Amino acid sequence: MILTKEQRAMLEGRQGETMAKVVKTLVMYGEAFGAERMVPVTSRYGHTVISFGIGVMRPVYQLYDQLLSANAVSRQPFSADPRPLDKNIPSSLLQDLVFKVMYSQQDRYEEQLRKLGLMGEDAYTCACYLPEAGNVPQRGEILSWAESSAVVYANSVLGARCNRNSGIIELMGSIAGFVPEFGLLTDDGRRADWIVEVRTSTLPDAQLLGSAVGMKVLEKVPFVRGLDRWLSRELNERTCAYLKDFGAACASNGSVGLYHIEGTTPEAADLGETIIRENAPVYVVDDEELQRVKDSYPCIWQDPDAVPKLCFMGCPHMTLGQLREWTDRVEEGLRAAGNKKVRIPTVFTTAPAVKAEFEKTEDAARLKATGVVLSTICPLMYMNNPLSKKMPVITSSNKLRTYSSARYYSDEEILAKITKEGK
Amino acid sequence: MTKTFQGRVVTPGAAKAPALVSRGGFNTLASYQMALMFGDKQVKCGDQNNPDLYHKPMIGKALCLPETIGSTTGGMVLYCACALGKQPACMLFSKPIDSLAASGAILAANWTEASMPVVDSLGEEFLAYVKDDMTVSVAEDGTVTVEG
């Protein structure tokens, strides 16, 4: 790899042994993917995927202590994934005890994040790119982020450039101020490898379509046609919310780091079909295909017929528009069923800054009246508790389904379950 | 019978260990989470979606796999496994390595004392040939020998 004079000096230890190891790590990372040079991180903010103080992660805390003692901190403020705990979410005494043991290092770790350059106390969200959260990269900016759902959104919807980095590596890029140039940072790496033809009879659930696409194309870049029958080509709030959920499912059910939506996402809108590689294979998604994918999900509940004890929505975190829409839908669903409160304990999760905005509106009291709990945690971190794994939990998130024992249902099915069924 | 495969060295080293084979993608977080959290000395795989590995001990094995999948915490998890001495003897990828596994291997090589050689691009034939408990040797130059 060709390094600049300054980068070479850092590698040789001019800024200390710790910084030299940071640069060596980034150089080896780049060489594994054939990178020929480093490029500067140009976004205003970074984002880290590691937001949880699990006791067993003590090697991470030791490494971060080492960085801090060498004053190797981030050159840019950064946001972080959601915090793990919220006492408002239903849990048993035993679960609470396990949570306490599991996340015993939370305070220590948050202190490390503050010292390393965290944006602020409300910077904990997986959807840092939402306008209210304030970490919205511009098109063409180079990022050093980790969090698969945030990376795929930044690449696809915002047109920024970021690889699917791992936790720790992303922080090292922000500390050094540069990252190796390969993959999704290059024009060639951003070309579409697959064409996806959506031929369903109605707008597919974003998280189901994303799952189907992710499972098919794995780490490749898909170019999706056919969504403009239902979605505006303009990147308005509804389209962005749909693409947020679609991308999260693509990224977790496969390893997609970038997708293009015909006529909609920035590079597809500008470059059209020239962005598709020659002889790209075509994947047709129709109603039968989506049903096949949905039917393929294993149910790993101990009792597959158990009545759900908890419902999570908001993985990734919900937008302000989604909170408003779902407040209406839950109210209407309860009214139609003759119920006043949700029939299954239900938690909506969103970014702290979005929650604050939502709570300024009358919708917040309406949602609260339905019994839905609004939280800012990461549902996955709740589900990581071994006692939570044994609970029959339902979700409309295909990401949460993939990484936990939660069972996936479509938005319509979830609405019916929480307003009419349950108990 | 002995068969040799040539791969590319991602992180150097030599090792000899019994094979543990994942035919599908290896979900690093799901595989290690419970074992690390509860101090399982055998580091049994916790990924219920991986029928090849679920409940099998991973520590000290020659982990043979196509690629890793799952959360972008994957590299951090692999780094922690190495720092805690719970790593496989080596990781042998049939495909070119993915960014998360590469991160974990490189973090471990630079920031821990653990030895875990990693070789990628061994080809589909490698994964088709190797079976659980076959003896696998990795040399410094990325040569992998499988004794059936």
Predicted pLDDT of residue B144: 98
What is the Cα–Cα distance from A398 to A392, expressed in whole angstroms? 16
User: Could you please report the per-residue DSSP string of A291-358?
Assistant: HHHHHTS----SSTTPPPSEEEEEEEEEPHHHHHHHHHHHHHHHHHHT-SS-SS-EEEEE-HHHHHHH
SS (H, E, C) A46-71: EEECCCCCCHHHHHHHHHHHHHHHCC
- Answer whether A409's CB lies under 8 Å from A417's CB: yes
Query: Which structure tokens are listed for B26?
Result: 């290896």
Query: Which structure tokens are listed for B12?
Result: 């150097």
Chain A contact for B24 (CB, 8 A cutoff): no
Predicted pLDDT of residue B92: 98
Could you tell me which chain A residue has the CA closest to the CA of B35? A56
**Contacting residues of B for A146, CB less than 8 Å apart:** 72-73
Chain A contact for B114 (CB, 8 A cutoff): no
Predicted pLDDT of residue A423: 60
**Contacting residues of A for B100, CB less than 8 Å apart:** 164, 166
User: Could you please report the per-residue DSSP string of A233-273?
Assistant: SS--HHHHHHHHHHHHHHHHHS-----EETTTSHHHHHHGG
- Answer whether A53's CB lies under 8 Å from A108's CB: yes
% of chain B beyond a pLDDT of 90: 86
What is the Cα–Cα distance from A338 to A156, expressed in whole angstroms? 42
pLDDT tens by residue, B41-65: 999 999 877 999 999 999 999 999 9
Alpha helices in chain B (DSSP H): 28-37, 74-83, 99-111, 124-129
- Min Cα distance B38 → chain A (Å) is 8
- Min Cα distance A185 → chain B (Å) is 13
What is chain A's pLDDT, residue by residue, as a tens digit (423 residues)? Answer: 999 999 999 999 999 999 999 999 999 999 999 999 999 999 999 999 999 999 889 999 999 999 999 999 999 999 999 999 999 999 999 999 999 999 999 999 999 999 999 999 999 999 999 999 999 999 999 999 999 999 999 999 999 999 999 999 999 999 999 999 999 999 999 999 999 999 999 999 999 999 999 999 989 999 999 999 999 999 999 999 999 999 999 999 889 999 999 999 999 999 999 999 999 999 999 999 999 999 999 888 989 999 999 999 999 999 999 999 999 999 999 999 999 999 999 999 999 999 999 999 999 999 999 999 999 999 999 998 989 989 999 999 999 998 889 999 999 999 999 999 866
Predicted pLDDT of residue A72: 98
Q: How many other CB atoms sit within 10 Å of the CB of residue B139?
A: 18
- Min Cα distance B89 → chain A (Å) is 19
Chain B contact for A147 (CB, 8 A cutoff): yes
Chain A contact for B74 (CB, 8 A cutoff): yes
- Answer whether B55's CB lies under 8 Å from B12's CB: no
What is the Cα–Cα distance from A267 to A269, expressed in whole angstroms? 5
Question: CB within 8 A of A292, min separation 6: which ones?
Answer: none
pLDDT at B90 over 70: yes
Could you tell me which chain A residue has the CA closest to the CA of B27? A403
Could you tell me which chain B residue has the CA closest to the CA of A24? B110
Phi then psi for residue A395, to 5 deg, are -160, 155
Question: CB within 8 A of A381, min separation 6: which ones?
Answer: A52, A82, A83, A84, A85, A103
Pairwise CB contact (< 8 Å): B84 & A56: yes
List all residues of chain A from 162 to 191 with a beta carbon under 8 Å from chain B.
163-169, 183
Predicted pLDDT of residue A421: 85
Q: Is A408 left (phi over 0), alpha (psi -120 to 50) or beta?
A: beta
Q: How far apart are the first and last CA of chain B?
A: 5
What is the Cα–Cα distance from A110 to A105, expressed in whole angstroms? 9
Could you tell me which chain B residue has the CA closest to the CA of A18? B111
Q: Which pTM does this prediction carry? A: 0.96
Predicted pLDDT of residue A300: 83
- Answer whether A145's CB lies under 8 Å from A46's CB: yes
What is the Cα–Cα distance from A184 to A190, expressed in whole angstroms? 5
Looking at the partner chain, which of A50, A54, A166 has a beta carbon nearest the beta carbon of B103? Answer: A166
Q: A145 - beta bridge partners?
A: A47
Chain A contact for B42 (CB, 8 A cutoff): no
- Answer whether B46's CB lies under 8 Å from B72's CB: no
The DSSP bridge pattern shows strands A393-395 and A373-375 to be: unpaired
Phi then psi for residue A373, to 5 deg, are -90, 130
Could you tell me which chain A residue has the CA closest to the CA of B73? A167
Report chain A's C-alpha Rg in angstroms: 22
Pairwise CB contact (< 8 Å): A50 & B76: yes
List all residues of chain A from 237 to 266 with a beta carbon under 8 Å from chain B.
252, 254-255
Predicted pLDDT of residue A120: 95
Expressed in percent and rounded to 5, the helix, strand and coil fractions of chain B are 25, 30, 45
